[in-house]
Chain A
Amino acid sequence: MRRLAAIGAMLALAACPAALASGQPRASQADLEGEIMCPVCSTTLDQSDSPIARNMKADIARRIAAGESKQEIKDALVAEFGQQILAAPPAKGFNLLAWLLPFGALFGGALVLGLLAWRWSRNREPSPPAARLSPALERRVDEELARFDEG
């Protein structure tokens, strides 16, 4: 029985996908279909039912079953269809701009907004000082208040 278990374990190891052996995460069909473009319809694979998209989905499924990692599958598709098959450009070289620009724009926008708010708060007219009452008027107000309290 122990020998049978050992043989089973060895067989499982032999069949173990290269992806697991290399420590890379297993690819998921849904993930890849959302990250790969259909080459003829300008949408990701998951939103397309064109013949080539169907072929590609089947190819991805085959590669996942064969144990290829997500990166290996992406590399194979790029080799077949070119870099623009990727929905998001790789974050290196000139493509890095596509990743950095949105953050730059966000930061720039926040900076401009902050600057405008700062200027707006500085330009506000100071409120005029409260007008002082003349002593006679002040005495009269006191008298009126006292009478009001008594009443």
Chain B
Amino acid sequence: MRALKLAGQIASVALVAALLGLLVWKVVQNDRTNVASSFAKNHKTKPVDFDLKRLGRPGSLKLSAFKGKVVVVNFWASWCEPCKSEAPRFQAAYKRYGDRVAFIGVDTADYSSDAGRFLDRYGVTYPNVRDPDRSVLGKYGGLPIPRTFVISPQWQVTGYIFGEARAADLESAIQKALAA
């Protein structure tokens, strides 16, 4: 009977230790895969790949297909006020840089119809994809949005703009990636 009691106590302690371990692992893992926090800690940060459905047209778009180019990834939504202000700046930069820089908009937690109207309203013509359940946004830091990441041709994140991207910040982040 005493041995049974001891076994029960050991099992309880082991269970608590395992749950604690799982919690620590989850926190560490989350920190590692979160591009924004990794970049903010000055770690060499690789972008997390994604393959998402195109917004407003059939097919999907894979981030890693743009390897070797400077890529600007902008997380936005039609209900996000700062996104409305920054959208024309992204479109202007897209026109200015042409083939030298790829722009990808990631519409997140949004109605596709609202998102489509948003693109029409702000004249956005670069490729946009949908991240309806925020699964990709989560790997890049989660809410709030907007968030913008600039990736160098060497496939490192070299620029990160949290919140509304001002023209000067966007320009300097793109220049830094082009010079990398």
Binding site for B on A (CB under 8 A): 39-40, 50-52, 55, 59, 80-85
> Complex formed: what's the CA distance from A52 to B114 in Å?
10
B133 interfacial contact with A, CB 8 Å: yes
- Selected contact of B143 from candidates A40, A55, A83, CB within 8 Å: A40
Asked if A80 and B112 sit within 8 Å, CB to CB, the answer is yes
CB<8 Å pairs between A and B, sample of 28? A39-B109, A39-B132, A39-B133, A40-B109, A40-B134, A40-B143, A50-B79, A51-B79, A51-B80, A52-B77, A52-B79, A52-B109, A52-B110, A55-B79, A55-B111, A55-B114, A59-B111, A80-B111, A80-B112, A80-B132, A81-B109, A81-B132, A81-B133, A82-B132, A82-B135, A83-B133, A84-B133, A85-B133
> Complex formed: what's the CA distance from A50 to B81 in Å?
12
Q: Which residues of A contact B112 (CB under 8 A)?
A: 80
Known: A40-B134, A84-B133. 12 other contacts (CB 8 A): A39-B132, A39-B133, A40-B109, A52-B77, A80-B111, A80-B112, A80-B132, A81-B132, A82-B133, A82-B135, A83-B133, A85-B133
> Complex formed: what's the CA distance from A66 to B132 in Å?
24
> Complex formed: what's the CA distance from A88 to B17 in Å?
29
> Complex formed: what's the CA distance from A40 to B109 in Å?
7
Q: Which residues of B contact A81 (CB under 8 A)?
A: 109, 132-133
Quote the shortest CB–CB distance from B46 to chain A (angstroms). 26
Q: Which residues of A contact B80 (CB under 8 A)?
A: 51
> Complex formed: what's the CA distance from A52 to B79 in Å?
6
- Enumerate B112-137 residues with CB–CB distance to A below 8 Å: 112, 114, 132-135
